[in-house]
């Protein structure tokens, strides 16, 4: 039997800022018995446009993405918010399109999975390559949690990593204040929100904070660096895949023993 | 009240810089939020109840006109007088006329958000009437000359110490050495002061949580019992309510009350749930001589016909704001008008227009917490997004924002160009940021960098590395 073709939707942030998390994701998907393909006609999922009220821009990007992955059995996304965009909002965007397009889009949406949900709930993997010695905590990013219901999958996967000691924050589901362009447009409010997240993460007494969304991670890590907080931040795929050779998010080589 | 929603960023900055406000808001997670969580956990069928509540509201809105007519007919037959007001000024005029006809001088009020919306107090006071708010929170902010900062807890922006200090300043006829260090002592003092007003008042004005078409009654829920006194003691009772408050039957109202109290304060039932059905009848021991109901449109029928219709399901429980990270950070006054939080970000543009209010739907992280708690399942995020679309269509954003988003789309829809530009940008960013792994200052992203560092790119794009290594892990 031929291995399933899993298209990796890299997400623009991982493509630009943190390719190592993308490779971690690719390795995990491969480990789950799929052939990984990375269509080069993909760029951005269109969420920034969609959420800033630019429907036509979002539609153009959505159509481009749907076409880029036409020959894949799965579309796997290492981000809950991009995955929700592809899976939930694309069909809404095309609600008034012609029947053929609607059919394509809903077939596409059915193939889309967030990375952790894909590994744990679709492929039911029972081992991961990574190992990590120490205490970690996990931030439930909003879209993945509330739009896709991703809660247990990352925890199931972390339980497969030898050495990981997961210590939950008191409010792991609290928003980190990123909100895409929100953090740039309303920096003061965003700062107040992320400060709470930092306090909670610090209280969890973990050396490493993990999440499935690079946007939130850049926000939290950026705030941690600014305040001198010692908790490091990584994409969960990095720990699951054992891709720890790059420094944590927002840290330089000197801070990475 | 004069809206200040267009100054939202300044309002928010002031709120963030106010440590007393932050201290007051810090009580939300352990207070109303925790109380709701416990109450919902105790009702296994809560999700089904939410769905039932949504369905009741939707079905009522589908046929709003006939339910309103049914309500009017029944209310008249129970002896109430029903008045229709198309907008705020008409509503205020009707209330004033009723007060004048009754030769009223003193009006006591129960808590009512719509009276805030139409500016009723100011209107009556300008005509020489004395208006006294009887809800403790409303009483406090009326004394302070403020507006409510929350739809069910109007003085939530104040701490107990703030209120105690205010009471010492206002109630100078009471002994200076009295104790005011518990919520109970504050309520007791307000009660004693207000009792005199209740007894002397000519007119009582209340809002309505629901108007029941089947019985012609208005329903109010309170925890202080002030609403009951306001509607039974004075000679004249006036209900002010918007037209979306109608519910066909008592049974349906009960379902809504079950989700309302739990969502609002985490109570199974509020301490007082009071129905008012017409004036005092022969043989009744108490009750008003006249009962008036003012049904106010003020933009609702326009909303009903628009894509904001779902927002009319709102039963004003306040859960969306209690669970909103933005509201928790800045409180309600920053939103600049009567309705704060996520529902405010949808209602305010609907009622005042998007031009002056476009910050409100934009100032959300879209975390979606509001939607998950809303007892009538209003898709608040989608509705805010629709307002963002309107704002965009009306070119309400700044020109750099508009230019940037255009540039992003035109690049991102050309993958080859996009990947090339991405390589260049990431190579530069990677080289500049390599040593620290982040940026502390840049000529752009000022908002971001004001409070946090920007993680630097690793130096090459994923697409580039993937092509170079022909799928697989480099290094
Ligand atoms: S929108 Fe929903 S959660 Fe918010 S006040 Fe209205 S009913 Fe309550």
Q: Cβ neighbours of residue B352 under 8 Å, at least 6 residues apart?
A: B3, B5, B337
Residue B169 near residue B176 (C-beta atoms within 8 A): no
For residue B470, the model assigns a pLDDT of 65
Residue nearest to atom 7 of ligand 1 (CA): B314
Residue B174 lies in a domain: yes
For residue A254, the model assigns a pLDDT of 87
**Residues forming beta bridges with residue B237, ordered by sequence position:** B204, B291
For residue A50, the model assigns a pLDDT of 97
For residue B399, the model assigns a pLDDT of 85
Residue A178 has pLDDT above 70, yes or no: yes
Interatomic CA distance for residues A180 and A51, integer angstroms:
9
Look at strands B454-455 and A134-139 and give their pairing.
unpaired
B365 plus B289 within the same structural domain: no
Mutate which of B314, B324, B364, B371 for ligand 1? The one with the most ligand atoms within 8 Å of its CB, which is: B314
DSSP, res A253: G
Interatomic CA distance for residues B32 and B35, integer angstroms:
5
Q: pLDDT band for B38, please (50, 70, 90 cuts).
A: very high
Single residue among B397, B432, B451 that ends a domain in this structure: B397
Interatomic CA distance for residues B85 and B350, integer angstroms:
18
Q: Cβ neighbours of residue B57 under 8 Å, at least 6 residues apart?
A: B256, B312, B313, B315, B376
Residue A161 near residue A128 (C-beta atoms within 8 A): yes
Structural domain total, chain B: 3
CA of B344 to the centre of ligand 1 (A): 9
B124 plus B149 within the same structural domain: yes
User: Residues of A with CB below 8 A from B16's CB?
Assistant: 188-189, 192
Residue A177 has pLDDT above 60, yes or no: yes
CA distance A159 to chain B (A): 24
In tens, the pLDDT along B78-137 reads: 999 999 999 999 999 999 999 999 999 999 999 999 999 999 999 999 999 999 999 999
B18 lies within 8 A of chain A by CB: no
B133 plus B94 within the same structural domain: yes
For residue B402, the model assigns a pLDDT of 86
> Closest Cα partner for A44 from B413, B365, B461?
B413
- Mean pLDDT value across residues B15-31: 95
CATH number, domain containing residue B312:
1.10.1060
Residue B285 lies in a domain: yes
Between positions 279 and 298 of B, the ones with CB within 8 A of A are none
- CA distances to A192, B203, B319, B368 from B224, rounded to whole Å, are 34, 19, 20, 32
B136 plus B272 within the same structural domain: yes
B288 plus B382 within the same structural domain: no
A205 lies within 8 A of chain B by CB: no
- Mean pLDDT value across residues A69-76: 97
- In which order are the strands placed within the sheet that holds A208-211? A164-166, A134-139, A208-211, A232-235
H or E element at residue A103: helix A99-111
Q: Give me the DSSP letters along B109-166.
A: E---HHHHHTTHHHHHHHTT-EEEE-SHHHHHHHHHT---SSSS-TTTTS-HHHHHHH
What are the boundaries of each domain within chain A?
5-121, 130-241
In tens, the pLDDT along A126-167 reads: 999 999 999 999 999 999 999 999 999 999 999 999 999 999
Interatomic CA distance for residues A105 and B45, integer angstroms:
35
CA distance A190 to chain B (A): 8
Interatomic CA distance for residues B281 and B33, integer angstroms:
42
For residue A255, the model assigns a pLDDT of 85
Residue A122 has pLDDT above 70, yes or no: yes
CATH number, domain containing residue B218:
3.40.50.10420
Q: pLDDT band for B471, please (50, 70, 90 cuts).
A: low
B210 plus B323 within the same structural domain: no
For residue A186, the model assigns a pLDDT of 96
A64: nearest CA partner in chain B: B413
Which runs of E-coded beta strand occur in A53-201?
A: 74-77, 112-114, 134-139, 164-166
What is the number of other CB atoms lying within 10 angstroms of the CB of residue B433? 21
Q: What average pLDDT does the structure give for chain A?
A: 96
Residue B62 lies in a domain: no
Interatomic CA distance for residues B295 and B147, integer angstroms:
23
Interface test with A, best of B331, B398, B437 (most A CBs within 10 A): B437
Q: What percent of chain B has pLDDT over 70?
A: 99
CB contact under 8 A, A246 and B12: no
Residue B52 lies in a domain: no
Residue B363 has pLDDT above 80, yes or no: yes
Residue B156 near residue B24 (C-beta atoms within 8 A): yes
Tokens of A13: 């942030």
Q: pLDDT band for B474, please (50, 70, 90 cuts).
A: very low
CA angle, A217 then A168 then A257, to 5°: 55
**Residues forming beta bridges with residue B206, ordered by sequence position:** B239
Single residue among B298, B322, B339 that ends a domain in this structure: B298
B305 lies within 8 A of chain A by CB: no
Residue B374 lies in a domain: yes
CA of A52 to the centre of ligand 1 (A): 23
Residue A2 has pLDDT above 90, yes or no: no
Residue B86 lies in a domain: yes
In tens, the pLDDT along B399-445 reads: 888 888 899 999 999 999 999 999 999 999 999 998 999 999 998 89
In tens, the pLDDT along A195-216 reads: 999 999 999 999 999 999 999 9
**Regarding the domain delimited by A130-241, which CATH topology (the fold level of the hierarchy) does it fall under?**
Rossmann fold (3.40.50)
Interatomic CA distance for residues B323 and B200, integer angstroms:
40
Domain that holds residue B444: 404-471
Residue B65 lies in a domain: no
> Closest Cα partner for B113 from B139, B140, B87, B147?
B147
CA distance A99 to chain B (A): 23
Interatomic CA distance for residues A142 and A170, integer angstroms:
16
In tens, the pLDDT along B366-391 reads: 999 999 999 999 999 999 999 999 99
Q: Closest partner residue to A16 among B329, B436, B457, by Cβ?
A: B457
Instruction: Indicate the SS3 state at residue B210.
Output: strand
Residue A20 near residue A243 (C-beta atoms within 8 A): yes
Q: What average pLDDT does the structure give for chain B?
A: 95
- In terms of residues, how long is chain B? 475
Residue B25 has pLDDT above 80, yes or no: yes
A222 lies within 8 A of chain B by CB: yes
In tens, the pLDDT along B290-315 reads: 999 999 999 999 999 999 999 999 99
In tens, the pLDDT along B43-52 reads: 999 999 999 9
Q: pLDDT band for B475, please (50, 70, 90 cuts).
A: very low
């Amino acid at each position: 039997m031929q291995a399933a073709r899993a298209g990796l939707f890299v997400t623009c942030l991982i493509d630009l800022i943190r390719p190592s998390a993308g490779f971690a994701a690719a390795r995990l998907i491969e480990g789950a018995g799929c052939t990984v393909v990375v269509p080069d006609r993909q760029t951005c999922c269109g969420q920034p446009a969609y959420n800033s009220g630019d429907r036509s821009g979002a539609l153009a990007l959505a159509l481009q993405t749907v076409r880029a992955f036409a020959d894949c059995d799965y579309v796997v996304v290492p981000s809950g918010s991009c995955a929700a965009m592809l899976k939930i909002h694309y069909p809404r965007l095309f609600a008034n399109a012609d029947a053929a397009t609607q059919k394509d889009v809903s077939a596409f949406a059915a193939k889309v999975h967030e990375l952790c949900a894909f590994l744990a709930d679709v492929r039911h993997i029972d081992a991961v390559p990574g190992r990590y010695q120490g205490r970690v905590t996990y931030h439930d990013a909003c879209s993945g949690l509330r739009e896709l219901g991703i809660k247990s999958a990352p925890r199931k996967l972390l339980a497969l990593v030898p050495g990981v000691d997961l210590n939950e924050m008191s409010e792991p589901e609290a928003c980190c204040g990123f909100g895409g362009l929100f953090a740039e447009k309303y920096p003061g409010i965003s700062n107040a929100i992320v400060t709470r997240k930092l306090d909670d993460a610090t209280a969890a007494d973990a050396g490493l904070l993990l999440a499935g969304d690079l946007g939130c991670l850049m926000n939290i890590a950026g705030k941690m660096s600014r305040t001198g907080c010692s908790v490091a931040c990584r994409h969960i795929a990095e720990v699951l895949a054992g891709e720890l050779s790059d420094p944590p998010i927002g840290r330089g080589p000197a801070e990475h023993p | 009240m004069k809206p200040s929603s267009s100054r939202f960023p300044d309002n928010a900055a002031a709120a963030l810089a106010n440590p007393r406000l932050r201290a007051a808001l810090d009580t939300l997670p352990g207070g109303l939020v925790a109380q709701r969580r416990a109450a919902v956990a105790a009702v296994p069928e809560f999700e089904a109840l939410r769905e039932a509540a949504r369905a009741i509201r939707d079905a009522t809105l589908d046929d709003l006109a006939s339910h309103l007519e049914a309500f009017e007919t029944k209310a008249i037959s129970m002896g109430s007088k029903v008045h229709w007001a198309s907008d705020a000024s008409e509503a205020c005029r009707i209330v004033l006329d009723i007060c004048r006809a009754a030769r009223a001088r003193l009006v006591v009020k129960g808590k009512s958000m719509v009276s805030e919306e139409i500016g009723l107090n100011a209107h009556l006071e300008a005509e020489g009437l004395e208006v006294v708010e009887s809800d403790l929170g409303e009483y406090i902010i009326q004394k302070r000359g403020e507006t409510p900062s929350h739809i069910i807890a109007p003085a939530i922006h104040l701490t107990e110490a703030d209120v105690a200090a205010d009471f010492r300043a206002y109630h100078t006829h009471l002994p200076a050495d009295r104790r005011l260090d518990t919520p109970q002592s504050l309520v007791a003092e307000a009660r004693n002061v207000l009792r005199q007003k209740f007894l002397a008042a000519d007119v009582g004005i209340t809002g309505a949580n629901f108007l029941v078409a089947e019985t012609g009654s208005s329903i109010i829920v309170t925890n202080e019992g002030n609403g009951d006194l306001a509607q039974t003691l004075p000679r004249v009772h006036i209900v002010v309510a918007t037209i979306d408050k109608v519910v066909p039957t008592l049974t349906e109202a009960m379902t809504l009350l079950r989700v309302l109290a739990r969502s609002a304060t985490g109570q199974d039932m509020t301490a007082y749930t009071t129905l008012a059905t017409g004036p005092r009848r022969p043989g009744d021991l108490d009750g008003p001589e006249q009962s008036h109901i003012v049904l106010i449109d003020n933009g609702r029928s326009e909303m009903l016909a628009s894509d904001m219709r779902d927002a009319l399901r709102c039963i004003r429980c306040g859960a969306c704001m209690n669970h909103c990270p933005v509201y928790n950070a800045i409180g309600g006054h920053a939103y600049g008008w009567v309705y704060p939080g996520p529902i405010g970000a949808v209602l305010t543009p609907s009622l005042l227009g998007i031009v002056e209010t476009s910050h409100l739907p934009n100032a959300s992280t879209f975390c979606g917490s509001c939607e998950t708690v809303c007892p009538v399942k209003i898709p608040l995020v989608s509705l805010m997004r629709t307002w963002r679309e309107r704002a965009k269509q009306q070119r309400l954003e700044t020109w750099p924002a508009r230019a940037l988003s255009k540039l992003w789309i035109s690049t991102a829809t050309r993958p080859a160009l996009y990947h090339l530009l991405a390589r260049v940008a990431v190579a530069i960013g990677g080289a500049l940021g390599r040593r620290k792994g982040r940026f502390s200052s840049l000529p752009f992203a000022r908002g971001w960098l004001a409070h946090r560092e920007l993680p630097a790119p690793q130096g090459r794009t994923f697409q580039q590395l993937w092509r170079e290594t022909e799928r697989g892990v480099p290094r």
